[in-house]
Amino acid sequence: MINPKTWHVSEENEDERIDKWLAKAMGASRTAVQQWVRDGYVLVGGKQVKSNYKLQKGDNILAEPPSEEPFALEAEDIPLDIRYEDDDLLVVNKARGMVVHPAPGHFTGGTLVHALLHYTDALSDVNGELRPGIVHRIDKDTSGLMVVAKTNHAHTHLVEQLQRRSLSRVYRALVHGAVSHEEGTIEAPIGRDPFDRQKMAVTDVHAKEAITHFDVLERFSDYTIIRCRLETGRTHQIRVHMAYIGHPVVADPKYGNRRHSHLLSGQALHAEELTLVHPSDSEMYTFHAPLPDDMEQLIEGIRRAGE
């Protein structure tokens, strides 16, 4: 354990959330503090509270978070769908439900990184020991193509392409409602949702530029299949943008609703195409990955219902 720390709440801090206040007081992340609160390492007046507890004048707070244990990633024999590989990089079709890499406070196995460590000894270390080879990410419950760097030269080259927006990522999505336009561009800044820190939102507060291009592939009475091309790569970008224009991605519990969630293990969103310039020969490569079976079956069921 870290040496315990105690505080006596004054009037000026009254009504602040304990997780927000304690994160500032301890110089820790709010996520870490929330985990400490859940695990009972934070007490108010000798009792456990919830992360949203509002401080009261005179509260006595005791925080005794666990010390960080030394950690090393272990390789795990998890099947991977490798679509391409050479000495510089590999392209993997990530399964829906798989987390890309572990993070502080979430060192559990089963991530893409754990699988990659078992698959190959050659991974770049540009992003540190928790994210070997990882150039970009895909949400846990989104499937599809990712490029993984095997050398530091390849990693740097690919990141430069992302920054120049020359590395192209195309997604296919099933969204709610009949999208009226044949094509369009959503240009709306994305930042942390001020009302829910677990979500992103279109906002002008501490936001970053976000641009999504889309075109309609097929319409049904209550649904539309669209193709989206990312010009920027913000967290949850397509999901946030489509919800923003009133067409949330099907089975997206965070930005839409849980309808059809019994048929899919995540949202109906798939990174189907990836185009990049190869770091060694400067040739342009394009890779494709078919829709997951459950997403294909859902679409086919909707198609048949409309006949």
- Do strands 5-8 and 60-63 pair parallel, antiparallel, or not at all (unpaired)? antiparallel
108 residue type, one letter: T
CA angle in degrees (0–180, nearest 5) for 24-26-30: 55
- 250-259: long-range pairs with CB below 8 Å, 24+: 250/173, 250/174, 250/175, 250/176, 250/223, 250/298, 254/198, 254/199, 255/199, 256/176, 257/176
| 89-94 and 82-85 beta bridge pairing | antiparallel
Half-sphere exposure of 265 (CA within 13 A, CB side): 12
3-state secondary structure 146-163: EEEECCHHHHHHHHHHHH
Active-site residue among 19, 59, 139, 141? 139
CA pair distance 58, 7, nearest whole angstrom: 10
Q: In what order do the strands lie in the sheet with 42-44?
A: 5-8, 60-63, 42-44
H or E stretch including 271?
A: strand 269-277
* Single-letter amino acid, residue 61: I
Short-list 212, 100, 107, CA closest to 165? 212
**Rounded CA separation 156/279 (Å):** 9
- Rounded distance between C-alpha atoms, residue 215 and residue 213, angstroms: 7
Q: Is 86 a catalytic residue?
A: no
Catalytic residues: 139
